[in-house]
Structure 1
Amino acid sequence: MDNEENEVIDLTEILSAVRQHLLKLIFVTLAAALVGFTASKFLMTPKYDSSALMIVNTRQDVNANVTSDQINSATKLVSTYSIIIKSDTVLQQVIDNLGLNLTYAQLNKRVTVAAVDDTQVMKITVQSDSPEWARQVCEQIITVAPDVIKEAVEAGSVKVISNASLATEPVSPNIKKNTMLAAAVGFVLVIGIIVLQVLLDNKINTEEDVTKYLDMTVLGVIPQYDQGGKKE
């Protein structure tokens, strides 16, 4: 019972401390949100994605009837084809064709290849701070990749079903998300400091503290006066 009572009293003290510092809490939260917004809007470089879709077939004759087993096999080939697309055989040729001032490793970091919902469709994505640059590189990849894949695998084929797109909106930074995250960090930081101050405060500040910590009855209180007026 004593432990439960102390826990309730501690929680009350914490809530009281939060109310006392409510303006500070609001100010810091808004200031943190403003910092997050400003950093995202003016300091971070926007990134754009350009994507294209390719479908994987296990047979080079794409006009022939396709069975479910062939579809399953094609789905499994997506991971193999993804590795080939991101290999230096493809990307170095893209660099040479476009005359890019990048190394293979640098371009590789900007390219992602993934299956779409575990299907035989691959999504090739190129990210850059220039939407047109990303589109050109993505377009060149889907131009070079099919012939390289056919030569390497010697079976099956890939076909472009969606050309490289030109992004109109950046994919990062997410200004709204960053602003809310910064506000949450500011809020939690102030709450943490307030809670820490309450937990570390072992001073006798009020008559209630005398009863709580010393288990003694308060007989009287001497008020504090400041310049002739009662302060507290």
Structure 2
Amino acid sequence: MTEFNSISAVQEDDEIDLAELFFVLRRKIWIIISCGLVGATIALLYTMFLIKPLYQSSSMIYIFSKTTTVTSAIDLQIGKQLTVDFEILGKSRPVLEKVISDLQLDTSYESLLSTISVENPTDSRIIKIAVKNQDPQLACDIANSLAENLAARVAEVTDTTKPSSVEQAVPAIRPISPSKSKNTMMGGMVGVLLAIAVILVMYYSDMSIRSEDDVRKYLGLGTLASVPFEKSISEGHESKSTKKKKAKKKK
């Protein structure tokens, strides 16, 4: 029975702590909101002025060449297996180094490889080439050059004519990253969480005794009586003592 009562007391204290914690945060709600707004503003300004935008352009080529027939397609195992070959060839060193040479790019094979993607859309016989760059025109030129060199490389490897181009890349008008709205939201959330964390740390580190509940909670003691503090009486006492000091100085 005693153990049950102690467990109930602990649960009751936890409920009181949660309720008290809620009121503590509610009293500081304007600080939390202000920190959220500051965090969102900082994130927005950082995104607008310090992060360089990235643009993406894409081109597409068709797997089958103009001379490919159904029979030769079967012989060459054209299908899903060949699309994988196209993806590998699109990222191969000879193809990318040819792109670097044609466009006279001041970059390396590894750097260019990190900015491109070669993929096959589901249930299609099309290879999509996407290129990201801070310069929208350069991203477009790289995508078109990569598609051209990939098609030439495929024709060379498979000993067929070049695959047909489905779509030429065009310069992007809007950047794909960074997202102002996403970064602003994340900055606001970080500001709110930091404010809550600071408030909770200050609250739990403050061991001041302010009420009878605090005496019971922190000291485990009961109180016999409490004396209320009247601010007006305190202020009147202070004003009287101040007058007496001034009167003594005059004498």
TM-score range relative to shorter protein: 0.7 to 0.9
Structure 2 partner of 1:24:
31
> In terms of mean alpha carbon deviation, does 81-90 or 208-217 score higher?
208-217
Q: 1:207 to 1:138 in 2, by over 3 A?
A: same
Amino acid in structure 2 at the alignment position of 1:204: I
Q: 1:83 aligns with which of 76, 83, 88?
A: 88
Provide the rounded CA distance (Å) in 2 between the counterparts of 1:76 and 1:217: 82
Per-residue Cα deviation, 1:23-74 (whole angstroms, up to 9, x for no partner) = 11111100000001001111111110001122324x773454899x89x952
Structure 2 partner of 1:185:
190
Structure 2 partner of 1:15:
22
SS at structure 2 position matched to 1:228: helix
1:55 aligns to 2:55 (yes or no): no
Structure 1 partner of 2:225:
219
Q: 1:132 aligns with which of 134, 137, 159?
A: 137
The structure that is helix-richer by fraction is 2
TM-score, normalised with respect to structure 1: 0.85
Amino acid in structure 2 at the alignment position of 1:113: V
SS at structure 1 position matched to 2:47: helix
User: Please, which runs of 5 or more residues in structure 1 have no aligned partner?
Assistant: none
> In terms of mean alpha carbon deviation, does 194-203 or 174-183 score higher?
194-203
Provide the rounded CA distance (Å) in 2 between the counterparts of 1:90 and 1:197: 60
SS at structure 2 position matched to 1:168: coil
Q: 1:215 to 1:36 in 2, by over 3 A?
A: same
Amino acid in structure 1 at the alignment position of 2:225: L
1:122 aligns to 2:116 (yes or no): no
SS at structure 1 position matched to 2:105: coil
Aligned counterparts, 1:166-177, within 5 A: 166-177=171-182
TM-score, normalised with respect to structure 2: 0.79
Q: CA deviation at 1:157?
A: 6.5
User: Please, which runs of 5 or more residues in structure 2 have no aligned partner?
Assistant: 1-7, 238-251
1:161 aligns to 2:166 (yes or no): yes
Structure showing greater radius of gyration is: 2
- The count of residues paired between Structure 1 and Structure 2 equals 227
Q: 1:159 to 1:119 in 2, by over 3 A?
A: same
Q: CA deviation at 1:193?
A: 2.3
> In terms of mean alpha carbon deviation, does 189-198 or 172-181 score higher?
189-198
Per-residue Cα deviation, 1:175-223 (whole angstroms, up to 9, x for no partner) = 1100001111111111222233333443322232123332413511342
Q: Is this contact kept in 2: 1:110–1:127, CA < 8 A? A: yes
Q: CA deviation at 1:141?
A: 0.9
Q: Is this contact kept in 1: 2:87–2:118, CA < 8 A? A: yes
Provide the rounded CA distance (Å) in 2 between the counterparts of 1:25 and 1:138: 47
Structure 1 partner of 2:49:
42
